[in-house]
Structure 1
Amino acid sequence: MKNLRSKYFWFLVLTVVGYGMFEYYRPKPIDWSPSYSNKDKIPFGTRALYELLPDIFGRQPVESLRVPIYNHLTENKLPAQSNYIFVCQNFSIDKNDRAQLLNYVKKGNNAFISAYDFPDTLLKILHVRATLKAPSLRDTALVMNFVNPAFKKPKGYIFSQDDGRNYFLVKKAENVTVLAQNARNEPIFLKVGYGKGYFYLHNLPLALTNYYTLDSVTTDFAFKSLSYLPVKPTYWDEYLKQGRFGDNEQSIFRFVMTQPPLQWAYYLLLFGLFIFAVFAGKRTQRIIPVMEVPKNTSLEFVQTIGKMYFQQGDHANIAQKKIQHLLLYIRERFGIRTHELNDEFKEALTQKTGIPRLDIDVLFGEIAHAERSGIITEYALLSLNRRIEDFYQKTK
């Protein structure tokens, strides 16, 4: 049984380890999912751009944040002026975040937001509306370009993964500057004044990912877009993409669940443990029968014989047997010879048992009387029995 379970266990361990190594070392397919995370080297991650931010902002400090906007702007001491950059698929914030972000820009700071989906509650305040259309199935994409002649590229920019059909609709032209547009002259990049600061609204986040940042044809689009921000301390948001926990708050389990090979190995381990519990956990031997405790029939026999002697009135015989049993007990328990019950015997018994000498003298006095007398009364037998039982109790 034990060897069988051991074989199951080691088979399970080797299977999990082997599968994990296979998944880890096998060629991984390219992940084209848009994560926009500064941790990812996949095509649509933003690690390349994030690592180059210190060069863009003149070595000003750049900090990656894993907390909501509200928490960062209310719980930390901020520099006099700074930039807050958001690059994500969906710029989803609640009313508390929105209120703090508006207040942050109103005081003279700048918020750069590149996303496809913007909250209407924010854009209404800025008097702007954003379209959101699914990418077209056409093989061609609209050409993008900057409005500023210094930034404008002769042939423009084409992003094959984005057809350029999303754009902004400006309701009020006050405090709004178009920085870039598509071939239809529809704005794709706006600078919106709010209080003392500015919102930079950008609806082409794919252009800021690794795939286009590292492509020599489109690499300068991301840098030109961010160059509109002043050279000041900058915050880069990762909360909207990775969640709240930072590197120092990651648990082993959370890390395992972010790595596909480890994740599948974990699921395989759980499945293997379930199979082990179902099949190897069953009882493989016969049920041990319940055995009743043997009855002490010898005690019943002794009691029966004792009652018989007592009922017949043979008190001397009962006394003699109890005396013989006592002397046998003394020889086996204390190693004292009992052929002569003299003063030397009594003194040795007193020292070994710790019973007072007077009690020893009384006990063996009654024993001597019982052995001399041919006839013993019931009272004398009971007294002798009480003395002997008392001796047993004191020497246990």
Structure 2
Amino acid sequence: MNKRFWFFVAGFLVFVFLLEWNAPSKFVWEPTFNHYDKQPFGCAVFDSLMEKSVPAKYEVTKKTIAQLERDGYGKKPHAFLIQTVSFRPSATDIRALDRLLKAGNKVFIAASSIEPDSLYPDLQVAINGQYRFSPMEVKSSIANQSIPYDTLVWSHQLPYQEKECAVYAAMAGNNITVEGKAVCDTLVSCWLSAEEAEMTEGYWLVHMVRIKRGKGELFVSCDPLLMTNYGILDMQTNGLIFRLMSQFRGLPITRTEAYGPEPEYETDTPLRFWLQNEPLRWAIYLTLGGLLLFCVFYARRRQRVIPVVEEPANRSLEFVKLIGTLYHQKHINRDLLQKKYSYFAETLRRMTMIDIEDIESRKENIAQIAIRTGMPEAEVRMILDRVDRYLQGDDELKDAALRKAIDGMDLIINKL
């Protein structure tokens, strides 16, 4: 066997191995907000886009708010981003958060749950959101012919106009409640249908607020699942996310993972799972070995008799006769005349470069045909007018008239 064959076999095996090794793992719909998680509710893609989009600086850390304050992050205006399922800060974190806000920093908290007494005595913020996303819930809603989307509306805020976006209801939160004397602006609301509004106090539920505290601003959202890989890649929601990030107005942004969940998301490929189990590993080895032996024993070209192939018969004439017989039996004379005229016009166009179907140049074309065929111009005009009259007529076209029209066109073609 030549070396080219062995090179092909080795390359094929390496290709299969790399293909299996790099095969993507299945989707995990568990929110992690992890910087290295490429699953839908991780933040690997989200962070990479933010790093390229934020002009000042964007970084990810695992330090708490108190640790960031001790490191001097609050000395200059800064923006902090917190994403979690349940936000439960310690007393030290709450005091550090208060000092950062009063110093002029901005803090954005996206969580599915915040207890009313988790922040400050004079500021009661409660969040009721989604703790997890279930694709089966979306499928069942579609199967039940119900709308699986919620409509989130960004309120009119210069320089932005009011904007609506559709979000899966299984991803969107429920509402935010703010009690206290703080100055509060509603940025994002959720529109409710008439049936849902009867169970609430109105047609709108608050999904994101901006609270003035000291010189700074506190942003609270009940939609943490939007601030993920899925949300930033979804064409319906990425505009909403970038509007949200524009509220920081050029400040450097620090996203902390200190309050997020600690999941063990799966990163292994299917091939690694097979190799970790001895029976499956030996199954792979035997399969590859059997494939290699098959290639070794069957790679040599087998000698076989080359059969004599007869030249295929030309059936074009028989086909034309068959079509002509069908037209004659059915007496579809006008259709047959139309096909003959199309062939006649194409023959003239190919042999004399004359377009007989051009109405505007009909007089000049008739004169050219008369010159080329040696026929009187009046006779050529009579033949063409007869064909046009038969094609445009509504009455039955007799066989004799059809034959006369075809003979006239054949006469012109034969004299070229």
Using the size of structure 1 for normalisation, the TM-score is 0.52
**CA deviation vs aligned residue, 1:201-239 (integer Å, no higher than 9, x gap):** 011112222212112232201101111123112211122
- Residues 88, 240 of structure 1: 8 Å contact kept: yes
Tell me: CA distance 1:227–1:95, structure 2 relative to 1, closer, same or farther (3 Å): same
Tell me: CA distance 1:74–1:180, structure 2 relative to 1, closer, same or farther (3 Å): same
User: How much has 1:92 moved relative to structure 2?
Assistant: 2.7
User: Which residue pairs with 1:69 in the alignment?
Assistant: 65
Structure 2 regions of 5+ residues with no counterpart? 1-16, 192-202, 279-416
Tell me: CA distance 1:109–1:265, structure 2 relative to 1, closer, same or farther (3 Å): farther
- Residues 112, 199 of structure 1: 8 Å contact kept: yes
Tell me: CA distance 1:37–1:151, structure 2 relative to 1, closer, same or farther (3 Å): farther
Which residue among 40, 47, 50 is the counterpart of 1:50?
47
Tell me: CA distance 1:26–1:82, structure 2 relative to 1, closer, same or farther (3 Å): closer
Q: Give the letter for the 2:94 counterpart.
A: R
User: Which residue pairs with 1:159 in the alignment?
Assistant: 167
Tell me: CA distance 1:81–1:264, structure 2 relative to 1, closer, same or farther (3 Å): same
Which residue among 80, 83, 105 is the counterpart of 2:79?
83
- Residues 112, 130 of structure 2: 8 Å contact kept: no
Structure 1 position 241 matched with structure 2 position 260: yes
Q: Which runs of structure 2 are paired with 1:1-396 in the superposition (5 Å)? A: 24-25=21-22, 27-57=24-54, 59-76=55-72, 78-125=74-121, 126-132=123-129, 138=141, 139-140=146-147, 141-148=149-156, 150-152=159-161, 156-160=164-168, 162=170, 164=172, 166-172=174-180, 174-183=182-191, 184-241=203-260, 259-260=267-268
Tell me: CA distance 1:106–1:265, structure 2 relative to 1, closer, same or farther (3 Å): farther
Structure 1 regions of 5+ residues with no counterpart? 1-19, 244-253, 270-396
Cα distance between partner residues in 1 of 2:239 and 2:156? 14
**CA deviation vs aligned residue, 1:39-92 (integer Å, no higher than 9, x gap):** 2221112223322324543x2122211122222212446541111111222223
What do you get for the CA RMSD once the two structures are aligned? 3.4
Q: Give the letter for the 1:127 counterpart.
A: Q
- Who wins on radius of gyration, i.e. which is larger? 1
Q: Give the letter for the 2:26 counterpart.
A: P
Greater Cα offset, 94-103 or 39-48: 39-48
Greater Cα offset, 120-129 or 20-29: 20-29
User: How much has 1:241 moved relative to structure 2?
Assistant: 3.1
Cα distance between partner residues in 1 of 2:57 and 2:23? 39
**CA deviation vs aligned residue, 1:15-49 (integer Å, no higher than 9, x gap):** xxxxx999845552122222122222211122233
SS of alignment partner, residue 85 of structure 2: coil
Cα distance between partner residues in 2 of 1:124 and 1:265? 53
Tell me which protein shows more strand as a share of its residues.
2
Q: Give the letter for the 2:77 counterpart.
A: Q
Cα distance between partner residues in 1 of 2:181 and 2:258? 32
Q: Give the letter for the 2:44 counterpart.
A: R
Q: Kindly, what percent of the aligned residue pairs are identical?
A: 18
Cα distance between partner residues in 2 of 1:221 and 1:31? 24
Aligned residues: 237
